Structure 1
Amino acid sequence: MIHYRIEPHDLQAHLYRVVLRVVRPQADTLVSLPVWIPGSYLVREFARHLQGLVARQGSRTVPLEQLDKCTWRARCSGASALEIEYRVYAFDTSVRAAYLDADRGFFNGTSVFLRVHGREDEPHRVELRGLPPRWQVATALPAVRTDARGQGVYQAADYDELVDHPVELGGFWRGRFKAQGVEHEFVVSGAAPSFDGQRLLRDAQRICETAIAFWHGRRKPPFDRYVFMLNVVDDGYGGLEHRASTALICSRRDLPRLGEEGLSEGYVTLLGLISHEYFHAWNVKRLRPAEFARYDYGRENYTQLLWLFEGFTSYYDDLLLCRAGLIDEARYLKLLARTITNTLALPGRRVQSVAQASFDAWVKYYRPDENTVNSTISYYTKGALVALALDLRLRQEGRGTLDEVMAWLWRHTGGGPMDEALFAQALEAVGGRSYRRELQAWVHGTQDLPLEELLRAHAVRWQRDPPTWAQRLGVRVADNGGLTVKAVLRGSAAERAGLAAGDELLAVDDWRLRKLDDLSIYLGPAAEPRRARLLVSRDQRLKTLTVEIPAGLGSVVLVPADPASDGELQRRRAWLKAR
């Protein structure tokens, strides 16, 4: 068994103290810290936060030789237990790493627990101690012996399980509910006094019950308990899935408030995030790419299937809100239209397939720059639209649904690794024909999906709003006290005029610009083609550019079709299951 002790060592310095104990070590024991965390596909070099590593066997100091950026060799002698002690600097407020201050602690195992090479499959035990007064512990890691606050000993079956259970520490709010008879816990850190915790519990319960029913009907999910850990900040958003828990971040203004019954845009976004990460407990944590059957924590783990595991989860997150009755049909179609608009606005969709985007996640998705919009596509949004297209095509043909495809995959893998060939087999088993042509075109090709036609067959009408000036110009602009161009879209009017990322927009036709909406004041409605002069600042030099602005297309709007045939209406109701 591998043992760890971890404690908050210095709150003001943001340091955890960790002691690793290895019984019966090898003569040359190798230890390393992961360079990435599953679910976030970027090498993050967590070992840069380790410091002060020392090793000993009893009273004897053991030499530690660093072999690379994250690996050490301990020159052990004899059978005495090896202890390696070190500090971890923890000041990352994201869901991916570790954090510690006087108010709150949080850590993922990939940031704090050295892996003992060759011993990964043994049980791993963690002793958590030294918590400040009134601090509590929240984690899905199985407890062996703990006190009322959660301080004590926990155990995992192996290293993979150990690092798949984040830990939240502090004086957080805590609530519980049951879904399909399974205990669920919600902890919230940093909420304002106006936070309506009971409403969040009720809505999360409906999401969980809907997701469990999606995968299992009336049967129980593949975990005995589940923990949501929500860190509330002034401005933030994100989540990371784990096998029986999730770490979430949201803005304080997005929480439900006491006395308010409406659904703000921010709260809907939070509910979608909860739905997304919970769905991942099945889709990517258990049903997962064959390449992820066993993680390699020391390097990138490549797969072309993130469009299925991240993209399909993005399709179902908002759809399950609709099926749970938390949002209505119109709200769902608005969210779907936004995803379509954002995808169609990217010239990169013509350059990179969603399968290639999955493979390139390690070097592109998490490292965006001014050319990202022109060279890449998101496996989240395009993957969600592939799921939509397949679901609607299956429903249109009347032989099955994507829901049934996902259930088929779960049954035939036992909730385990899979590849694209098995997904194609599942589509054929449910749909009664081969869908390889659609997969080749929609997943491995770069043409647009036939969404307008498919939505029409489900009594949903596709419309376009009038274009904004930003859409007509083809620019992404940051308002940071001035108007700075973040990106220029390929083939756009802005590119043809010579506008570049980093330019500051100062004036149009001799009128001062303070925000992009001012263009509608000085140029009129964004409807007809127009020529204009732009005054820009580039590297502190003024330049005048002449731009020919075309009419352009606005955002997609989806509305229920009226009139529609009975068959189309029935398909829409079956798809959305709106209450």
Structure 2
Amino acid sequence: MPAPRPQPSTAPVHYRVEPADLHAHLFAVTLTVHRPATRQELSLPVWIPGSYLVREFSKNLQSLRATQGGRPVALAQLDKHRWQAQCKKGQPLVLTYEVAAYDTSVRTAWLDASRGFFNGTSLCLRVHGQEDGPHALELVRTPATSGWSAATGLTPAKATRTGFGTYLAADYDELVDCPVEMGTFWSARFTAAGVPHRVVVSGAAPSFDGERLVADMRRICEHQIRFWHGSGKAPHASYVFMLNVVDDGYGGLEHRNSTALICGRRDLPRVGEARAPEGYTTLLGLVSHEYFHTWNVKRLRPSEFARYDYAQENYTQLLWFFEGFTSYYDDLLLRRCGLLDNTAYLRLLTKAIHQVLQAPGRHVQSVAQASFDAWVKYYRQDENTANATVNYYTKGSLVALCLDLALRREGRTSLDEVMRGLWQRCAGGPMTEADLLQTLKSLSGRDWSREIAQWVHGTDDLPLAELLLAHGVTLQEEAPQWAQRLGLRVSEPQGLQVKVVLRGGLAEQAGFMAGDEWLAVETEGGTWRMTKMDDLPLYAGPAAEVTAWISRDRRVFRLPLRLQPAPGRLGDTVRLTVSDPAQAERWLATR
């Protein structure tokens, strides 16, 4: 039987959070440590689990002061995110400070006159030595926010109907893994496989069809709980979806019993319109992805994450599994629960294949290396990223695809069973690559270390065509668009701007560089102004070579540009079609 949760008055660590100044975007925090150490150390995390980049949250903390019995306490800053208070025994330590909340993403904190949001990693100083004990969080509603409500996945101790009040966490990890949404949001509730769920939506337009969103979310949640547990019990007693709707945005961050999401306003379903916007499928995929993380990364997690170190990078080579396999299942489970048909699913799979094939970095970096390098490469992308790295989300999802199809072809098991086997083997806790290999062997009857070495730790292309064909889906090469044909990534809103020059492509051979503006193309028939890539075939006609006029640092250059790739070059644009519907259905429609 779990230990009883303490009452708010007895929680050793108590945070009082108040949206203090909406126009200055400041949260006010009062932290009470009832039994501080003589030299009590405190720190603010430098990163948030699920987003693998040191973000230095302490840059937003200001006006930190400490008192005991109303008298000032000496407070020394030790480094960029740590402080030490010189305390007297027997008296509570009270710290007050402010946090500037300007980040609209799901990772930090936001506050304005219409909405507040925060993750505990941005607002809650960690009390060293007391991380494993109970923590209380008190959410305060002010006169300026009298019409607001609050929502969080934390356990309420003494909360009002509006959600403000005091909540409890078993330890610091739980406290900072339950974000808080506040404002005048839309809210609804549903039950999936016996688990109560809540959806809060902030910023939606009046046309928003909340009933449809909730119905589709319920289908996703019910299907995923059954995927992992059959008729068994889910590991979470409740769940909260927090959706922030903006003019143009996308993102999500998983938590143990909640998720914070962002979507574009035009991506939501609309009342009275049977056909949902194209972006709605993307939103449902995001919901599916973050909910799948409830199992795969929040509980079944890399052994290196068995205990988070909030002070520095936490390295693992397994993000290809935890993010990549989740990315495989997010859309596949939409197909299986009837929210996508085969055509729509294969369209999404084609997009993932393109993202990998059209990145020369897949031959430079393995997906295991990409996982380890996430802290310095994935979240800091630049003009060379596509040439030097591979995306552990997309290639990881294709590794999962290949593994699933290879297992199904041999006929003894599937990746579905492997995922459930891992959950049982690791007791829903930390796992290693060796656990995956052992589970694969025990369920399939053979060793898979060669495939994992090649697909995960190697840089050769995956056997996609062969494995897809064995399941009734044909992969065919197609003629690429002109930008890809030349090895360019461009933007066209105001002239033709070169964003990326892909390694080994025709544009690189001609001397193009990221940041160039492509001004014109010169042919035998004259020189023509370029404003978009579609201008090139119009003006070049059948020519095998043209001269490109580009602007770089206010200087104009003429570059000789071949228009035909070298013979035998591997195609990086493909099309998927169902060649054997019965075979494809056995894979795609598995319940």
For normalisation by structure 1, the TM-score amounts to 0.97
2: CA distance, partners of 1:364 / 1:113: 28
Counterpart residue number, 1:521: 538
Counterpart residue number, 1:68: 79
RMSD of aligned residue pairs (Cα, Å): 1.2
2: CA distance, partners of 1:5 / 1:308: 38
Alignment of 1:286-297 (within 5 A): 286-297=299-310
- 2:403 counterpart of 1:386: no
Q: In structure 2, which of residues 298, 307, 310 is the aligned counterpart of residue 285 of structure 1?
A: 298
Taking every aligned residue pair, what percent have the same amino acid on both sides?
61
- Give the CA deviation at 1:517: 2.0
Counterpart residue number, 1:558: 576
Alignment of 1:79-98 (within 5 A): 79-98=90-109
Alignment partner of 2:421: what SS? helix
**Which runs of 4 or more aligned residues in structure 1 lie more than 3 Å from their structure 2 counterparts after TM superposition?**
551-554
Q: Which amino acid aligns with 1:279?
A: F
1: CA distance, partners of 2:378 / 2:332: 24
2: CA distance, partners of 1:62 / 1:345: 58
Q: Which amino acid aligns with 2:538?
A: I
- Give the CA deviation at 1:464: 2.7
- Give the CA deviation at 1:529: 7.7
Measured against aligned partners, the alpha-carbon deviations of 1:416-453 in whole angstroms (never above 9, x if no partner) come to: 00000011001111111000000000000000000000
- 2:446 counterpart of 1:429: no
Measured against aligned partners, the alpha-carbon deviations of 1:7-58 in whole angstroms (never above 9, x if no partner) come to: 0010000000001100121110000000000000000000000000000001
Q: In structure 2, which of residues 27, 35, 43 is the aligned counterpart of residue 32 of structure 1?
A: 43
Counterpart residue number, 1:573: 585
Q: In structure 1, which of residues 165, 169, 178 is the aligned counterpart of residue 191 of structure 2?
A: 178
Counterpart residue number, 2:556: 542
CA gap 1:77/1:519 in 2 versus in 1, 3 angstroms: same
Alignment of 1:396-545 (within 5 A): 396-509=409-522, 510-524=527-541, 530-545=544-559
Alpha carbons 1:310, 1:380 under 8 Å: kept: yes
- Give the CA deviation at 1:481: 1.3
Measured against aligned partners, the alpha-carbon deviations of 1:157-195 in whole angstroms (never above 9, x if no partner) come to: 000000000000000011111100111111110000011
Q: Which amino acid aligns with 1:149?
A: T
Alignment partner of 1:545: what SS? strand
Q: In structure 2, which of residues 124, 130, 137 is the aligned counterpart of residue 126 of structure 1?
A: 137
For normalisation by structure 2, the TM-score amounts to 0.95
CA gap 1:266/1:578 in 2 versus in 1, 3 angstroms: farther
- Give the CA deviation at 1:222: 0.6
Alpha carbons 2:270, 2:276 under 8 Å: kept: no
Alpha carbons 1:325, 1:578 under 8 Å: kept: no
- Give the CA deviation at 1:530: 2.3
Counterpart residue number, 2:22: 11
- Give the CA deviation at 1:555: 2.4
CA gap 1:278/1:372 in 2 versus in 1, 3 angstroms: same
Alignment partner of 1:532: what SS? strand
* Structure 2: runs of 5+ lacking an equivalent: 1-11
Alpha carbons 1:468, 1:554 under 8 Å: kept: no
- Give the CA deviation at 1:342: 1.2
* Structure 1: runs of 5+ lacking an equivalent: none
Q: Which amino acid aligns with 1:558?
A: L
1: CA distance, partners of 2:38 / 2:463: 62
2: CA distance, partners of 1:578 / 1:333: 15
2: CA distance, partners of 1:224 / 1:515: 53
Q: In structure 2, which of residues 211, 216, 228 is the aligned counterpart of residue 203 of structure 1?
A: 216
Q: Which amino acid aligns with 2:73?
A: V
Alpha carbons 2:186, 2:202 under 8 Å: kept: yes
- Give the CA deviation at 1:482: 2.0
1: CA distance, partners of 2:536 / 2:290: 40
Alignment partner of 1:88: what SS? strand
1: CA distance, partners of 2:572 / 2:446: 37
Q: In structure 2, which of residues 387, 394, 404 is the aligned counterpart of residue 374 of structure 1?
A: 387
Q: Which amino acid aligns with 1:467?
A: P
Alpha carbons 1:107, 1:167 under 8 Å: kept: yes
Alignment partner of 2:323: what SS? helix
Counterpart residue number, 2:5: none
Measured against aligned partners, the alpha-carbon deviations of 1:262-299 in whole angstroms (never above 9, x if no partner) come to: 24320100000000000000000000000000000000
Per mean C-alpha deviation after superposition, the further-off stretch among 258-267 and 424-433 is 258-267
Count of residues in Structure 1 that have an aligned counterpart in Structure 2:
570
